[in-house]
Amino acid sequence: MEVEVSKNILIVIVSVSSFLINGEVNAGGVETLQSSYLEQGAGPFSASAGEKMWRKQFLDKKSGKQRSCQTCHGRDLTKAGKHARTGKVIEPLAPSANSE
């Protein structure tokens, strides 16, 4: 019984550690990308400005329909999206779902 409890505790510790390490890796990836973009002249970065741009509607000249980033990528960035015109699958944008 003690061995089983110890084994379960070890599994929980390893799982939580893996989650925390993965979160740090993803955060480091974002910082690396931002640094690269800053070197190219982008920025300053703002989550609220990014959200506003993400939700902004524009008229697609070919279809005549209103679109936004969410049209193709969807609201849940951990799931695959679908290109509005071609129907091709778009891989998830969330680093937790797509390491690329």
Q: Where are the domains of the chain?
A: 1-42, 54-95
**May I ask the CATH class of domain 54-95?**
mainly alpha
pLDDT at 9 over 90: no
pLDDT tens per residue across span 17-70:
444 445 445 567 788 888 998 999 988 888 899 999 999 999 999 889 999 999
Give me the mean pLDDT over the 73-100 stretch. 91
Whether pTM exceeds 0.75: no
Q: What is the spatial distance between Cα 76 and Cα 80, in angstroms, rounded to a whole number?
A: 8
What is d(CA 18, CA 62) in angstroms, rounded to the nearest whole number?
46
